[in-house]
A and B are shown apart, each in its own frame.
Chain A
Amino acid sequence: MDTHVHDRRRFLALAAGAAAAPLLTACGAGFGGNDDKSDGSAADDVTGSFDWKREKGTTVKALLNKHPYTDALIADLKSFTEKTGIKVEYDVFPEDNYFDKLTVDLSSGRASYDVFMLGAYMVWQYGPPNWLEDLGPWMRNSSATGAEWDQADFFPNLLQADQWSLKAGAPLGQGGQYALPWGWETNVVAYNTELFRKLGVKPAETFDELTELAGTIKRKAPGAGFDGMYGIAVRGSRSWATIHPGFMTMYARNGLKDFTVDGGKLTPAMNSPEAVAFTEDWARMVKQGGPPSWTSYTWYQCSSDLGAKKAGMLFDADTAAYFQAVKGASPASGKIAFHPGPKGPGGSLATNMWIWSLGLNAKSKKKSASWLFLQWATGKEHLRRSAITHNHIDPVRKSVADDAAYKDKMRHLPGFLETFETVVDQTKIQFTPQAQFFDATTSWAAALQEIYGGKAAKPVLDGLADDLAGKVG
């Protein structure tokens, strides 16, 4: 009996040791996924003449965000498979979960997805840990890249926005090409023409006018037959996405910076006296003429409120208004016009942009086939077809923007092309590139909510700047 007990104890000790072994192995093995990266690019392995059929029979896995641009891509995938013999399997997630899914997937070090959608800001987060393939060597290799892809046809600022040296504060347009621009958005004001005509008002040319106009609409629109309508739809959820459209555009037009960069050191600047004054003004505008329950507002709500005639104006991506403006898309379709929005004090139309880009997983085992997919998806043929027959607007390629059929399609939207052409030269990423972008902008959105809730702007923004000073560098 005694022996039995003894044996049992020994067995348990051995079992515990066996269970601990993987733990100890993990401790010794280090962190994250495997680290077997080589210095040379896989692009160097592609030799000979360019051939679309080189990877025939391969299947590429794509992670996509639910978006009209994605719908256009999926609708055209058959032509890619016909052209290359490559099949594309894809998962589509709504934007609320999309980036968390992508982040977790990339950080796992596995290659569950070969290609994926990302924004230029994500390059700042995914680039430093080497999760993104540098596409520069692929673009430069004529065996891997067909002549018709025509790199010079991209708007240069868009291509540069996905290029970074991975150093905090360093300007974009240097270093690796970590993604390719695929579709983009410029942030402008869209408004309900029927309402404006009834109220006898015109789009605002200054920020003060915009605040005044938003308040006027909220007060007078119900009396003009627009029951429950408020002045201006802007995002307000506790998310980085709240900062980058209208807020950052107007912030930049006022000549304001998120950080100052001195010798590679970043100092938060969102608590400068001018930035504090602007933030107070923005919160006042939202209070006077913004949506009820603003703190939960994402672009989906902003866009649908404009379409449902719940918002008189929208200060957000031009595409967010476009998707409501197209014929039959919403009760307000046919009654939505576009305007560049208020100018800054010196007449500045500096505009922040968002670029839906396509990236390649650095851990992918099918890089050659994935590169063919990226080439096709950002190529002239597919983008032209998507812009003309679907809603893939705001072309990243000059040839598509200049295409007569595209212009004909967009011409019926009052002010769309004029607005686009007015702001395009001053549209760029207005943020300072740095890896803590999401922490900084999420905290910034939380600060904005507190100021909207009645807290004094100065101490809130000072607290934000203090907190961020220790994190960015």
Chain B
Amino acid sequence: MRLALRPYLLIVPALLLTCGILYPFGLGLYYTLFDFSASKPQPDMVRFENYTAVFTQEAFWNSAWVTVLYAVGAALTETVLGVAVALLLHRSSLLGRILEKILILPLMIAPVIAAIIWKLMLQPSVGVVNHLLRPFGLGGVQWTDTPTGALLSSIAVDVWVYTPFVAILALAGLRSLPTSPFEAAAVDGAGWWYTFRRLTLPMLWPYVLVAVIFRFMDSLKVFDIIYALTEGGPGDSTVVLQIRAYLEAIRFQRYSFGISYTIVLWAVVYLAAMVLVKHLGKIQRKAAEVTT
């Protein structure tokens, strides 16, 4: 009897976890079919009108565009910088170990705190960034006062916080690579660039792609950094989908409409993740071929 029950008991935690995820998700999905808001606590079923309204809103397309710009900009920069930092750390020993400890510091700070710290540092008149730039005649930059400046500043903060994450992943990948192909390349007299392009990068790709998947998905869902730094402004220039959903659901109390935004965002993230994960499989197979 006890043996017969064991399989069922073993799946209980997973089942609870699944229900814990599916229940609010299902409820949220269900709410999007109504016109539920603070001013209409007993709403009518409107079927897919909320989604139609979302897709016909100019604000949605603006937010979608800003979100994609942010996610691509942040994930790409973090990947390039992260891999570069990992390569540097991998080469030097003592300095590498010291820098490794320092590198992890931004990851220990909550992103919202990091954004507030950067907001103070980027303040045009008293911020340290303009203070440091003043000797070069660049002390008057209004970092977050223009649409482009606000977006780039937000991406820069994201890069500051999360580049170490990519670097650490890439470094772990570098350290796990087999040494024999590199030894063979060295014996054959291959240069650094050739070795990097033909050996290091192909074998490292699975690790890099894991980092890209994490960072791209996270960047699509960004809220804290942008909200603390710019509140979505100036104008609507940094209102990403998460901020739009928050404003609709919490600030303006149009619950169904706000949830519709998050469901659309979920679909985008899900599709992007599926494509990237499928790609990851192919890359892993290619990397295995290089190794062998």
- In the bound complex, residues from chain B placing their C-beta under 8 Å from that of A35 are 41-42
A435 close to chain B: CB less than 8 A? yes
> Is A453 a contact partner of B231 (Cβ separation < 8 A)?
no
Closest A residue by C-beta to B41: A32
Given A228-B125, A295-B144, residue A238 in contact with residue B233 (CB < 8 A): yes
Stretch from A23-31, A47-55, A110-118 forming part of the interface with B: A23-31
- In the bound complex, residues from chain A placing their C-beta under 8 Å from that of B18 are 19
- In the bound complex, residues from chain A placing their C-beta under 8 Å from that of B4 are 4
> Is B23 a contact partner of A22 (Cβ separation < 8 A)?
yes
A237 close to chain B: CB less than 8 A? yes
Render B14-52 as a binary contact track against A, CB cut-off 8 A, 1 for contact: 010011001100110011001010110111000000000
Name the residue in B123, B124, B252 with the highest tally of chain A Cβ atoms < 10 Å from its Cβ. Answer: B252
Closest beta carbon of chain A to B60's beta carbon, Å: 12
Closest beta carbon of chain B to A338's beta carbon, Å: 25
- In the bound complex, residues from chain B placing their C-beta under 8 Å from that of A32 are 36, 41
Closest beta carbon of chain A to B46's beta carbon, Å: 13
- A57 to B150: give the CA distance in the assembly, Å: 53
> Which residue of A239, A435, A450, A467 is within 8 Å of B234 (Cβ)?
A450
- A296 to B118: give the CA distance in the assembly, Å: 13
Render B73-104 as a binary contact track against A, CB cut-off 8 A, 1 for contact: 00000000000000000000000000000000
A292 close to chain B: CB less than 8 A? yes
Closest beta carbon of chain A to B259's beta carbon, Å: 12
> Is A125 a contact partner of B253 (Cβ separation < 8 A)?
yes
Closest A residue by C-beta to B243: A238
> Is A128 a contact partner of B39 (Cβ separation < 8 A)?
yes
Stretch from A99-107, A195-203, A409-417 forming part of the interface with B: A99-107
A129 close to chain B: CB less than 8 A? yes
- In the bound complex, residues from chain B placing their C-beta under 8 Å from that of A125 are 38, 253
- A153 to B132: give the CA distance in the assembly, Å: 57
- A445 to B140: give the CA distance in the assembly, Å: 24
> Is A442 a contact partner of B42 (Cβ separation < 8 A)?
no
Interface class of chain A by DSSP? helix
A391 close to chain B: CB less than 8 A? no
Could you say which interface size class chain B belongs to? Answer: 35 or more
The count of chain A contact residues (Cβ–Cβ below 8 Å) is: 47
- In the bound complex, residues from chain A placing their C-beta under 8 Å from that of B39 are 128-129, 435
- In the bound complex, residues from chain B placing their C-beta under 8 Å from that of A103 are 250-251, 253
A431 close to chain B: CB less than 8 A? no
In chain A, residues 326-354, which have Cβ atoms closer than 8 Å to a Cβ of chain B?
A: none
> Which residue of A30, A293, A446, A447 is within 8 Å of B124 (Cβ)?
A293
Closest B residue by C-beta to A33: B41
Given A11-B8, A31-B36, A453-B146, residue A23 in contact with residue B233 (CB < 8 A): no
> Is A295 a contact partner of B250 (Cβ separation < 8 A)?
no
Closest beta carbon of chain B to A165's beta carbon, Å: 15
In chain B, residues 216-255, which have Cβ atoms closer than 8 Å to a Cβ of chain A?
A: 230-236, 247, 250-253, 255
Name the residue in A32, A104, A293 with the highest tally of chain B Cβ atoms < 10 Å from its Cβ. Answer: A293
B145 close to chain A: CB less than 8 A? yes
In chain A, residues 411-453, which have Cβ atoms closer than 8 Å to a Cβ of chain B?
A: 435-436, 438-439, 442, 445-447, 449-450, 452-453
> Is B124 a contact partner of A100 (Cβ separation < 8 A)?
no
B119 close to chain A: CB less than 8 A? yes
- In the bound complex, residues from chain A placing their C-beta under 8 Å from that of B13 are none
> Is B15 a contact partner of A15 (Cβ separation < 8 A)?
yes
> Which residue of B119, B233, B247, B250 is within 8 Å of A449 (Cβ)?
B233
Name the residue in B36, B140, B145, B235 with the highest tally of chain A Cβ atoms < 10 Å from its Cβ. Answer: B235
- A115 to B23: give the CA distance in the assembly, Å: 32
> Is B42 a contact partner of A31 (Cβ separation < 8 A)?
yes
In chain A, residues 217-257, which have Cβ atoms closer than 8 Å to a Cβ of chain B?
A: 228, 237-239
- A-binding residues in B (CB < 8 A): 4, 7-8, 11, 15, 18-19, 22-23, 26-27, 30-31, 34, 36, 38-39, 41-43, 59, 119, 122-126, 140, 142-147, 150, 230-236, 247, 250-253, 255
Q: Give me 6 other A-B pairs in contact (C-beta within 8 A), A293-B143, A295-B230 excluded.
A: A8-B8, A31-B255, A100-B251, A128-B39, A436-B252, A446-B236
Interface CB pairs A-B, < 8 A, 6: A295-B145, A295-B150, A439-B252, A446-B235, A449-B235, A450-B234
